[in-house]
Every structure is written in C-alpha cells, then in structure tokens.
Amino acid sequence: QYLTKLRITKACELLSYPNSTVTSVANALGYDTSVFYRHFKEIIGYSPSEYKQRAAEGILFEQKDQYLDLQQL
C-alpha cells in the first residue's frame, strides 16, 4: 500500500503537466492503464482524467493531501 500511494503521489505530479496523458503517466509508473485508473480513484476519490482536468482548471481539492499522507502508513 505504501508503494501504491507513492506511485499515485507521483502520478498527481505528472498529471498536472499540460502535455501529459493519463496513458503516458500510467506507463511511466509501470501500471496497466485499467489498474492505474482503479488505484488512482480508490486513493484520490476521482479518476485520473478528472484530476487532470481539475489541475488544468486550478480546481484541486486540498483533501487530496490527506489521502497521500505517506507518514500515516
């Protein structure tokens, strides 16, 4: 679970870049796209595509930080 959260934390960073795609981020982190979608949604609460859209619009929830608090593991 620690490694999954660490990978999803990195995914959030990569998804915030304008030229990134969900597929390229999933592949860069060693995920099959469908598994990436599932893990991302379980941890963050919404899909990678929705996260990317919100990042582009500057609408990210502060709540994501509580999901990604790796110190709690």
Q: How far apart are CA 30 and CA 61, in angstroms?
A: 26
Helices (H) and strands (E) in the chain, counts: 5, 0
pLDDT of residue 63: 45
pTM for the model: 0.78
pLDDT of residue 37: 97
Query: pLDDT in tens for each of the 73 residues of the chain?
Result: 899 999 999 999 999 999 999 999 999 999 999 999 999 999 999 999 999 998 888 877 544 554 555 455 4
For 37, residues 6+ apart whose C-beta sits below 8 A from its C-beta are: 22, 26, 47, 48
pLDDT of residue 68: 54
Q: How far apart are CA 31 and CA 7, in angstroms?
A: 9
For 8, residues 6+ apart whose C-beta sits below 8 A from its C-beta are: 39, 40, 43, 44, 68
pLDDT of residue 69: 54
